[in-house]
Amino acid sequence: MFKITVAGTGYVGLVAGVCFAEVGHQVICVDVDEEKIKLLKQGISPIYEAGLEELLKKNLAAGRIDFTTDYRTAYKDADAIFIGVGTPEQPDGSANLCYIATVARQIAETVEKDCLVVVKSTVPVGTADKVEQFIKDFLVHDVKVEVASNPEFLAQGSAVHDTFHAARIVIGTESKWAEEMLRKIYEPFNLPIVSVSRRSAEMIKYACNNFLALKISFMNDIANLCELVGADIKDVALGMSYDERIGSKFLNAGVGFGGSCFPKDTKALLYLAKQHGYELRTVKAAIDVNKDQKTILYRKASKRLITFNGLKVAVLGLTFKPGTDDLREAPSLDNIPLLLEQGANVYAYDPVGMDNFKKIYPEGPCMNGTIKCVDNIEDALKDANVCFIFTEWDEIKAVKPEVYKKLMRTPLVYDGRNIYNPRDMKAAGVEYHSIGRPSY
């Protein structure tokens, strides 16, 4: 087993660290956020992720994982250092690599033994090459340091499960020594390993995320056409899913993709291509379709209603997807400001995303309207004039059509996740609008 240090305790770093500890490695995670480190030392996860906190507590108790802000101690005698810090989007769409550079310099100035540095963050092609040169430029001690690429393919909400049941582990190396060490580190996971060059590994990550983003945007585009010609996107997706060349995943139409990966990675790859004098027209189209798709229900409702001013608007689901408390690029954050500008009184509900939402929109007067966060769906729906559904949480899917009719002043529902059967909603007396399906 290896002594592993993980830089960063966000989704990538924390999940990786806990899972490495679970298979027997000795792990220490480093972060600059002292409050976060205090919580982690107590076994409290700062992010909502199924199964993560349980494994965190288990491995803390077993002494296989620890957390610190002292990078000097954490880096100096590690066998491998995994970099899992953020690479946020810059205004021009490129990836901000300042956190990667900071960690790289810290490693160079503190490492005291031969070490493999593994870039797990999503980074532009060629970044691992630059990180290796950067470390060598600032290296203090006479030790061997090599850099490898090991992109993650986790889905938020199922990150722990994805780590232990991955379809493959991608490693990008430039030497047999680095490849063999990574193979040994991942050996306890007993998963297929795809070993390629560093640049190919970096490109695999971007290619995968951009392909899935393309698939989502294509289905949303087809859904919009379905509405115009009278077809049902659910039926269309079902028929497509039987084709093995297409598959059944990522065929659900809705109000676009969000989260920390797809929006950022599509823009980053588009920027990378432009830097090399090439235009990725398909990726650009996916970005454009997604931008329009996020507010399609607001535009539909605006045509139906004279104004939102003074209306009670129920918003069910705030996070970009179920199973996470992450609101980054969530459709709710594109639509709620439009509603508030029109003077709506927004009553918002989400089973786990409420605290993060309040950091962005505190309760009370906001713009021309108001915001109130409620603890249950019933309070959001009671006497509401219109309801928007942006996240397909099980709690929301469990609400029967007749509940909308019973509780709402005007049973007018705009469903961005196609949760309900339009015929069932009509039979219950609900005016129902979804994505790519007849309203009946």
Residues designated as active site: 261
Identify which of 387, 436, 435 has the alpha carbon closest to the alpha carbon of residue 413. Answer: 387
CA distance 91 to 86: 16
Cβ(114)–Cβ(139) under 8 Å?
Answer: no
3-class secondary-structure state, position 168: coil
Within 195-320, where are the H helices?
Answer: 198-229, 233-241, 262-275, 281-293, 296-304
CA distance 13 to 401: 41
DSSP string, 240-275: HHT-TTT-STT---SS---SSSHHHHHHHHHHHHHH
For residue 287, what are the CA distances in angstroms to 224, 294, 297, 394?
16, 11, 18, 28
Residue 407 CA neighbour count, 13 Å, CB half: 20
CA distance 257 to 404: 26
Type and span of the H or E element at 185: helix 176-186
